[in-house]
A = this chain, B = another copy of it.
Amino acid sequence: EPDEKIQTMLNQQFHYVLKRFTPALQRALPSLPPVDFFWRIHFLVGSMAHTMADSERLRSISSGLCDPDDTEGTIRRLVTFLNAGLKAKAD
């Protein structure tokens, strides 16, 4: 299945990118306990990988409302969502 190959490739790419970006993200979230930080990075990777690998299905789920070809809109919405999730107060 191409989707699965893409998923694997994306995961490898994300691992490399995260190794570079993790220190900067940790500096941006200094009050978040490290255990919560890593969990949130994990959730973030899930959202990003799913968005890059499998957004075409969203077109039908949303009855055509969502356009996965709208890259700028997708990134803007993803950033809004992840920004709020990353900044949430840990319980």
Q: Which residues of A contact B (CB under 8 A)?
A: 1, 4, 7-8, 11, 15, 18, 34-36, 38-51, 54-55, 58, 61-62, 65-66, 74, 76-78, 80-91
Contact = CB atoms under 8 A, between A and B. Distances in A.
Chain A contact residues: helix, strand, loop or mixed: helix
How many copies of this chain? Answer: 2
- Among A4, A84, A87: residue with most chain B CB under 10 A: A84
B38 A43 contact: no
11 contacts: A1-B8, A4-B8, A18-B61, A35-B62, A35-B65, A35-B66, A36-B77, A39-B74, A42-B50, A43-B50, A50-B50
Given A4-B1, A76-B91, A91-B80, A38 B50 contact: no
